[in-house]
Each structure stands twice: as C-alpha cells, then as structure tokens.
Amino acid sequence: MKTLSTIIKTVIIALIALFAAFNMQSVDIKYFFNKPPIQLPFFFVVLAAFILGVVISAFIAFTEKLKLKKEINSLKKVNKELEKEIVRLKNLPLSKKEEE
C-alpha cells in the first residue's frame, strides 16, 4: 500500500511539474485601480487561486464542524435528561386504582 501511495504522489508531482513547464508565460495581475500590474507566471496565478480555494473551503468546513459539534452536545444533553425522565417514570409506584 505504501508503494502505491508513493507512485500516486510521484505521478501528481510530475503532472504539476508538467503543468508548470507548459504555463510559464507571464500574465498581468491588477490588484488595485491606480497601481501598476504585477507580472507573474501563469502557473503561480493558478496555484495561488487553488491554494486560496483550499483554504477557504477548509475554513467553511471547520465552521460547519463546530456548528455540528455544538448541536450534538446539545442533543446529548437533551437525551440524558429524557433518559433520566424514563427512569423516574419507571420507578413510580402504581396507583391504588390499578392495584385493585
């Protein structure tokens, strides 16, 4: 399994290197209206956009995970209270009418 993982990683790195080699032409990046454009290789622009997308997605996933954890803890608390109520109801004595 370790060998397969190494082969997959090597193929991915080779594909990234090929993409970089074929996309080294410069592109102008304009961040602000009055500033002169910055010239960067196209590969770096694509890589930066990809990394930014990964970071934003990870942040969104992290906040969703925190929300779900909070909801799970809340539901566990309600469940514990309901289980206590069931135990309390099971231990109630029978009324006199039911005994007769």
At 41-83, the pLDDT tens digits run 988 888 889 899 999 999 999 999 999 999 999 999 999 999 9
pTM of the predicted protein model: 0.63
Within-domain flag for 97: no
Within-domain flag for 58: yes
pLDDT category, 96, cuts 50, 70, 90? low
pLDDT in tens, 5-23: 999 999 998 988 888 888 8
Within-domain flag for 90: no
Using H for helix, E for strand and C for coil, what is the string for the chain? CHHHHHHHHHHHHHHHHHHHHHCCCEEEECCCCCCCCEEEEHHHHHHHHHHHHHHHHHHHHHHHHHHHHHHHHHHHHHHHHHHHHHHHHHCCCCCHHHHC
Residue 11 tokens, joined: 């193929």
Within-domain flag for 77: no
Which pLDDT score is estimated for 97? 63
Span 20-29, average pLDDT: 87
Within-domain flag for 36: yes
Owning domain of residue 17: 2-69
Domain count for the chain:
1
Within-domain flag for 55: yes
